[in-house]
Amino acid sequence: MGDLMAESEGLRWLGPLRYEVVGARMLAANRSYRARLSYLPPPREAQPSFTRACRAGCDACRAGLHPAPGDAELGRPATVLWQTRRSEWVTLEEEEFAGFMMVVMPCRSDKSKNGVAKYGHLSDGKLHLVVIKRCSRLMYLRFLLRMAHIGLEAGGDHGDYIKVIPALAVRIEPIGKESQWNVDGELLPSSIFTAQLHRGAVDVFARGVDG
Q: pLDDT digit string (tens) for 33-92?
A: 899 999 988 876 555 556 777 777 777 777 655 555 445 455 566 667 777 777 888 988
pLDDT tens readout for residues 194-206:
888 777 677 766 6
Which structural domain, as residue segments, surrounds residue 52?
A: 31-196
Residue 133 has pLDDT above 50, yes or no: yes
Same domain, 155 and 171: yes
The confidence score (pLDDT) of residue 38 equals 92
Element spanning 129, H or E: strand 127-133
Beta-strand runs (E) in 85-124 = 90-91, 95-103
Distance CA 211, CA 93 (A): 38
Same domain, 19 and 83: no
The confidence score (pLDDT) of residue 211 equals 43
Number of H helices, E strands in the chain: 5, 9
Same domain, 1 and 58: no
Same domain, 129 and 164: yes
Contact indicator for 124, 60 with CB cutoff of 8 Å: yes
Same domain, 42 and 53: yes
More confident residue, 189 or 144: 144
Q: Is residue 37 part of a domain?
A: yes
Same domain, 40 and 144: yes
Q: How many residues are listed for the chain in this entry? A: 211
Q: Is residue 66 part of a domain?
A: yes
Q: Is residue 211 part of a domain?
A: no
